[in-house]
Amino acid sequence: MRTSIAVLLAVWLIPGPAYSQAWEAGINQAILNFRNDRSNFLRSHVIRAHHDNPAIHAEDDAVAHLVEVSLPGVVMLAVQAKPQPQAPAQPGQAPKPDDGKPRFSVGSGFIVALDQGKPLIVTNAHVVKDAGAGGTAILQFDGGVRSTGVVLDYNISYDLALVRSNTECPSCAVLKFGLAKAKQNGQDIDVPNVKVGHRVIAIGAPFGLPQTVTRGIVSALKRNPGQGLVDDFIQTDASINHGNSGGPLFNMRGEVVGVNSMIFSPTGGSVGIGFAIPITQVQKMIDRWRATGVVSSSRIGAEVQAGRGGLEVGDITKDSPAEKAGLRKGDVIVKINGQSVPTTPYLFTKTIADMVPNTKVELRIRRALGEVTITVVLEAVR
């Protein structure tokens, strides 16, 4: 290999005006020798390194084992999609005929518990919203076992939903959550058990191909792409495509650390920028469902914006809790349940959304003639 490189450099660097076919032949031969030597070097060193390196085999076996024990907890879901309005036909063109065939949206999910012996499945709200709460989803478990399930509830703001299988699944597995402790404002809080740079695995049904496994790393934490109320997405370069939505993102301990939810892409396919909802949000949703029977968010039905010393009320939705409670446009909210109002409209919306529907909330309002307290009964919103 060294000889070929030397010959190649020598031929390239010899000065002089004389250029002949012999020189060209020499250059071509040197390039050919260099390529052959490089290929032989790679075959003899790189391939042998893989064969002789037990650490590589151990890592591959560990990943394979992780996938093997995780697949029984991953589910492919399909719900019948609502008919989409057709675009008007162009002049001189006939409208496209409707073939009358039902169309389905396909996504992924994973088993988080057994409810009366039947798998309880987490997925994205956008996967099952066409079915609606109480609607039917078609489920396919590992090994091709099929069943139907009922959409228990969903929450568009956090893009999460719960589905329960209508049948038991003895071969299925409940997946473990990857939670760790961290300090925030001097208090211990739960966070996903993963760090930037850690390797992760995504399993789902991209383009309807069930139990597809892809691998990458955590590219960033606490990403806020401005979608809904989730402001702490896990960013990953593991390949995520249409159909992966709702599927689990695993750390290398085999724990679920996130729910694959969305991608950024100029083409519509994976370009290595995917986002997963942190598993901490899933835990909150399940706790809420068990305590209240719902996972939907709450609202007061009024827009707010930053104001002097509080949040100023803007447009108010007709027949909303805000209107029924007597909230007025121009009011300034200074306290909520006796505590200082959140500093931004987003944080206020998130605070209200995280409360249980039908909760009574006291708002301290500043008006031109002084301050008053009004009580708002929150309403559910998906």
Q: Report pTM.
A: 0.78
Whether 362 contacts 375, CB under 8 Å:
yes
What pLDDT shows up at residue 368? 86
Q: What is the pLDDT of residues 76-106, one digit of tens each?
A: 999 987 766 655 555 666 556 555 677 788 9
Q: Does domain 297-381 have CATH number 2.30.42.10?
A: yes
Q: Do domains 179-289 and 297-381 have the same CATH topology?
A: no
| Residue of 126, 153, 157, 239 marked catalytic | 126
Helix (H, G, I), strand (E, B) or coil at 221: strand
Of 330 and 48, the structure prediction assigns the larger pLDDT to 330
Q: Determine the average pLDDT of the residues in 43-51.
A: 57
Paired with 108 in beta bridges are 76
What pLDDT shows up at residue 7? 39
Instruction: Please report, for residues 2, 4, 5, 14, 38, the alpha-carbon distance to residue 41 in angstroms, rounded to integers and kept in the order given.
Output: 11, 13, 13, 27, 5
pLDDT exceeds cutoff 60 at 226? yes
| Residue of 70, 108, 245, 261 marked catalytic | 245
Q: Determine the average pLDDT of the residues in 335-340.
A: 92
What pLDDT shows up at residue 94? 58
| Residue of 142, 153, 159, 331 marked catalytic | 159
Q: What is the pLDDT of residues 235-269, one digit of tens each?
A: 999 999 999 999 999 999 999 999 999 998 888 78
What is 179-289's CATH number, 3.50.50.60, 2.40.10.10, 2.40.50.100, 1.20.1250.20?
Answer: 2.40.10.10
Nearest alpha-carbon partner for 380 in 187, 227, 186, 155:
155
Whether 75 contacts 244, CB under 8 Å:
no
Token pair, residue 303, equals: 């827009």
245 is catalytic: yes
Q: What is the pLDDT of residues 159-200, one digit of tens each?
A: 999 999 999 999 999 999 999 988 887 888 899 999 999 999
Where in the chain are the domains?
2-52, 179-289, 297-381
126 is catalytic: yes
